[in-house]
């Protein structure tokens, strides 16, 4: 590289910065072919399409755009990005009820912009400084809500529930399984509602499928019986994984009773509350998290029910030393960098370069306040019950799983139709509701049937929507019989 080229690069970056300065007003107010610009992008109108179609033509164009060889004007790339994102599902659309919808609010988008502009490094105190202090104290605040001992417990932000579950079971393994000879004898106990990330974690940690035992409903007496028999057989009970709000039905395992069994047998109790832990902040329904304070570890996703954008999860562990045993490591690169004797965040998890997820969450909570967050959570639960009431009033509709944690499962099952036909009718209702932009509902298998599942947590859902959406779905059901 010649000297002129070397000198030109900083000047080019300065030119880019100036261009961005002029582009920002356009981007916010008029960009992306929309009069409301990015605000509309981050907060879609109920009339906006829930799903864009990826045609063969748009797929080919997207593949061409994915090759980043030549320099392009920033405005052109922004418009390219907009064309790419036309062909997607808006999971933060107020009428998207599939999976666990994104509850991202405009303030979440603003938090992303502000925090990413500062680009803080939260691996350790040397680089993170005051930002690390905010994460530490924010996590302590959550710890008090869970009910863990403040002096011993620790929390940290992670990418999401799957990573939190992985780290928790790694800590459980390292605490209860000593020696290679015990590894093949370890047992993890789960229910039929357990998230698939647990079985994936078990596989990554070197456990075979038969070392993950499914106990229906995690019935405490059955669990205790199985544990006793496993011990007699020379096996090593390692962990029990309970679910606080399953992604299918909102089901909550009997956490207080399972906690007693775990305590009696000295087994690590992990609560996967990726979805449901937020109920702790609900002023009306916080008792649904009863027993969470007895866990060894808790998973909590802010991007599910704390209104953050994606990539913001948390892990809480009763005893900080459990994570340090599994993840702390010495390095010539780090040990000479002025690090303190006290644990750094990089000692508590896999990541060294940690993005400022917790600062994004702090920003949201600081603006909204935990009381408003709690009211928004309560509203989602109330709206799901309103949907349930309206479905129950319809002929030929059944509620297979009542509204739990803002999730309900219904099924259209008219008389005179066999199971195969009814499954097809429910699939058609889901397809037509999406095509007509009424709602995105999810087809799931529940109790052996194809059913319609709805997760109703988007705070932008209008109070009149349960009536209009249920009536529209009922009309589709009637039309499907003709």
Mean pLDDT of the chain: 92
The answer to whether the beta carbons of residues 145 and 237 sit under 8 Å apart is: no
pLDDT confidence of 8, banded at 50, 70, 90?
confident
How far apart CA 446 and CA 248 sit, in angstroms, is 8
The reported pLDDT for the residue numbered 40 is: 78
Question: Given this model, what pLDDT does residue 42 score?
Answer: 84
How far apart (Å, rounded) are the C-alpha atoms in residues 245 and 253? 8
Q: pLDDT (tens digit, 9 = 90+) per residue, 126-153?
A: 777 899 999 999 999 999 999 999 999 9
At which residue do the structure tokens 């095509």 appear? Answer: 435
Q: How confident is the model at residue 33 (pLDDT cuts 50, 70, 90)?
A: low
- pLDDT for 126 equals 79
Under the banding of pLDDT at 50, 70 and 90, the label for residue 57 is: confident
* SS3 state of residue 312: coil
DSSP-H helix ranges across 177-248: 180-183, 196-204, 220-232
Dist. CA 41–CA 270, nearest whole Å = 37
Q: How confident is the model at residue 21 (pLDDT cuts 50, 70, 90)?
A: confident
Q: How much is the CA Rg of the chain, to the nearest whole Å?
A: 25
| DSSP element (H, E) containing 125 | helix 125-128
pLDDT above 90: residue 342: no
Give the model's pLDDT for residue 412. 98
State yes or no: pLDDT of 85 exceeds 90: no
**Per-residue pLDDT at 5:** 72
* pLDDT exceeds cutoff 70 at 110: yes
Question: Bigger pLDDT: 73 or 211?
Answer: 211
pLDDT of 36 reads: 56
pLDDT tens, 186-208? 999 999 999 999 999 999 999 99
All domains of the chain, ordered by start, with CATH? 120-367 (3.40.640.10), 372-481 (3.90.1150.170)
Query: Could you give the CA distance from residue 370 to residue 364 in angstroms, rounded to a whole number?
Result: 10
CA 368 from centroid of its chain's CA atoms:
20
DSSP 342: S
Mind giving me the DSSP string for 404-444? ETTEEEEEE--TT--HHHHHHHHHHHHHHHHHTTS-B-EEE
Q: Is the pLDDT of residue 271 over 80?
A: yes
Between residues 335 and 299, the one the model is more confident about = 299
User: pLDDT at residue 452 above 80?
Assistant: yes
pLDDT at 330: 78
pLDDT of residue 15: 82
pLDDT over 80 (residue 2): no
Q: pLDDT grade, residue 334 (50/70/90)?
A: low
Helices then strands, counting H and E runs in the chain, come out as 19, 11
In the chain, % of residues over pLDDT 90: 76
Separation of CA 323 from chain center: 22
Residue 6 pLDDT: 65
- For residue 365, pLDDT over 80 is answered with yes
> Can you give the pLDDT at residue 352?
92
Q: Output the pLDDT for position 448.
A: 93
DSSP one-letter code for 389: H
Residue 56's pLDDT is what?
Answer: 85
Q: Are strands 154-158 and 313-317 parallel, antiparallel or unpaired?
A: antiparallel
Q: What is the pLDDT of residues 152-178, one digit of tens each?
A: 999 999 999 999 999 999 999 999 998
The answer for residues whose C-beta is within 8 angstroms of residue 25's C-beta and 6 or more apart is none
Euclidean distance between CA atoms 418 and 414, whole angstroms? 9
Candidates 331, 371, 373, 328; CA nearest to 154 is 328
pLDDT the model gives residue 29:
65
Confidence band, pLDDT 50/70/90 cuts, at residue 478: very high
* % of the chain with per-residue pLDDT over 70: 95
Q: Where are the beta strands (DSSP E) in 3-66?
A: none
């Amino acid at each position: 590289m010649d000297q002129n080229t070397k000198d030109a690069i900083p000047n080019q970056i300065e030119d880019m910065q100036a261009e961005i300065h002029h582009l920002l007003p356009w981007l916010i107010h008029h960009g992306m072919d929309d009069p409301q610009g990015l605000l509309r992008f981050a907060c879609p109108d109920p009339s906006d399409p829930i799903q864009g179609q990826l045609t063969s033509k748009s797929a080919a164009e997207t593949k061409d755009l994915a090759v980043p060889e030549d320099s392009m004007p920033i405005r052109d790339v922004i418009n390219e990005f907009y064309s790419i994102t036309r062909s997607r599902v808006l999971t933060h659309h107020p009428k998207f009820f599939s999976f666990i919808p994104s509850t991202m609010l405009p303030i979440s988008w603003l938090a992303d912009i502000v925090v990413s502009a500062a680009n803080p490094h939260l691996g350790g105190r040397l680089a993170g400084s005051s930002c690390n202090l905010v994460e530490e104290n924010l996590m302590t605040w959550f710890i008090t809500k869970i009910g863990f001992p403040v002096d011993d417990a620790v929390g940290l932000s992670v990418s999401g529930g799957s990573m939190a579950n992985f780290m928790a079971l790694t800590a459980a393994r390292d605490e209860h399984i000593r020696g290679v000879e015990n590894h093949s004898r370890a047992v993890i106990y789960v229910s039929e509602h357990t998230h698939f990330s647990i079985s994936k974690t078990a596989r990554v940690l070197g456990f075979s499928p038969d070392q993950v035992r499914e106990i229906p409903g995690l019935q405490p007496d059955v669990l205790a019986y199985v544990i006793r028999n496993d011990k007699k057989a020379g096996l090593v009970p390692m962990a029990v994984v309970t679910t606080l709000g399953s992604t299918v039905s909102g089901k909550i395992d009997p956490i207080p009773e399972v906690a007693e069994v775990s305590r009696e047998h000295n087994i690590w109790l992990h609560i996967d509350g990726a979805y449901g832990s937020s109920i702790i902040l609900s002023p009306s329904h916080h008792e649904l998290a009863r027993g969470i304070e007895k866990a060894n570890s808790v998973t909590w996703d802010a991007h599910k029910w704390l209104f953050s954008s994606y990539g913001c999860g948390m892990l809480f562990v009763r005893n900080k030393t459990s994570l340090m045993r599994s993840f702390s490591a010495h390095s010539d690169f780090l040990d000479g960098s002025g690090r303190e004797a006290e644990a750094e965040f990089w000692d508590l998890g896999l990541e060294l370069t940690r993005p400022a997820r917790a600062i994004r969450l702090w920003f949201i909570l600081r603006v909204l306040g935990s009381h408003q967050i709690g009211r928004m959570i309560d509203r989602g639960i109330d709206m799901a019950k309103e949907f349930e009431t309206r479905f129950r009033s319809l002929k030929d509709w059944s509620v297979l799983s009542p509204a739990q944690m803002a999730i309900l499962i219904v099924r259209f099952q008219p008389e005179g139709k066999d199971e195969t036909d009814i499954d097809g009718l429910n699939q058609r209702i889901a397809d037509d509701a999406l095509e007509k932009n009424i709602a995105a509902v999810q087809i799931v298998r529940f109790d052996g049937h194809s059913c319609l599942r709805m997760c109703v947590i988007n705070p932008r859902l209008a109070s009149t929507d349960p009536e209009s959406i249920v009536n529209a779905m009922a009309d589709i059901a009637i039309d499907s019989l003709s």
